[in-house]
Amino acid sequence: MANKTLSEFKQFILKGNVLDMAVGIIIGGAFNKIVSSLVNDIIMPPIGYLIGGVNFSELKARVGGPESEVYINYGNFIQEIINFLIIALTVFVIVKAVVKMSNLRKAEEGDAKK
């Protein structure tokens, strides 16, 4: 029983889909760090400067009275929205380029068959 389960697990792991997904997750994690650095270190400082030297990560609203230590960190939220938009735009451009290359390849293959 254990050998059969181990064999099935091995087949599952060695399928191309699982390996592709694992590579995608690893690359995605590394890409996330690059995008975070782009947003935090390159994009946000000039935006903060343009709106009066504001550092988005420091934007927060106190919840409760003056002695309250509870804050809503809306600056971090704004920064994460910008991260998301940059990632979405990048993925869109990459997918669009891949589809275009795929269509060109299919057209070339169609011309070669004639």
Could you tell me the CA-to-CA distances from 74 to 31, 54, 62, 91, 99 in Å, in that order? 24, 13, 11, 26, 37
Segment 34-88, tens digit of pLDDT: 888 888 888 878 887 888 877 777 889 999 888 889 999 998 898 888 888 888 8
As its CATH architecture, domain 2-113 has Orthogonal Bundle (1.10)
> Global pTM?
0.58
User: Contact at 8 Å (CB) between 64 and 70?
Assistant: yes
Residue 102 has pLDDT above 80, yes or no: yes
pLDDT per residue as tens digits for the range 2-32: 788 888 887 777 776 777 788 888 988 888 8
